[in-house]
Structure 1
Amino acid sequence: MNWIIRSTKTVKYHTNLQEVLKPIWEVLKEYNWVLTDLDFISDTEVPINFDHDYFILNHDEFEKVYNSETQIIWGIISAVPRSHEINLSLISKFSAENEKVWKPDQFLIPESFLEIIAFDSGYTIVKFRNKDMSNKFKNHFGREALSLKKFNEKYK
């Protein structure tokens, strides 16, 4: 239930959240979003910036990022249950360069329901805990969504 997208035939650019989350967006309303280690370009004002190491957004705040033309060049984006108390001291230390992001079923935030890692505008890694959501994602992206495990076996 871990995927990597290298090709951008379906998406305008890496990591376009509107495209990446399109097949599952409607079921993600009950989560807070943790964004850390960010580098991005946006066409409009969004509730993230370069003044802080991380952001914790509710669904409405994250929806502003989702609906914008924001390209996440680098960073970690996690959907975390609203009821979960987040360890803020750990979040600011997370990095998309951590080897754990390349390992299947390894989440930087253990309570993450979904984790997206933008890696230098060339790769988008998406990890799911829910098989149905993973299947919707894979069906939407087809052959462009490569198994992270198989990718690692071939390229790492």
Structure 2
Amino acid sequence: MNQDKQLREQLVKMMRGGQAFRTREELLEGITLQDAGRKVDGVPYTIWQLLDHLLFAQHDILDFCRNSNYHEPAWPDDYWPKETAPEDEAQLEQTLKALDADLEEMIELVQDQKNDLFKPIPHGTGQNLLREAMLVAEHNAYHLGQVVLLRRLIGGL
């Protein structure tokens, strides 16, 4: 197996998780509408806010990678929701599905050998697909850990 293929496979494994911790699907399985919006004393965000932030940031990275007309959102206002809970079960489910769909689109970019992992993104400032894939993996892992902690604190895991 060549090194390019190995690198792409490892990036996919990093983005999907399941090596150093359970997969994202396992970590997010069974989140209820009630738990998603539940506040914990001393914690500045809810599970819902983390999920919405994960979706926004992951979609933003994906958009940056493939959209030559990309416009950077305002930090931090655009990246964090003000609502502490989803409107309803449908919004929660839609967010979870969108998280999966955007991740799979990022994985497709990485798996496509026509995409040079090291080539700078033309409209960026030196970023490349390798860096963006690792950013998705790192950012998701960080916030998924926070989701797990909140789920344990509220007794939902």
TM beyond 0.5? no
Tell me the TM-score normalized by structure 1: 0.30
Higher helix proportion, which one?
Answer: 2
Higher strand proportion, which one?
Answer: 1
> Which protein has the larger Cα radius of gyration, Structure 1 or Structure 2?
2
Tell me the TM-score normalized by structure 2: 0.30
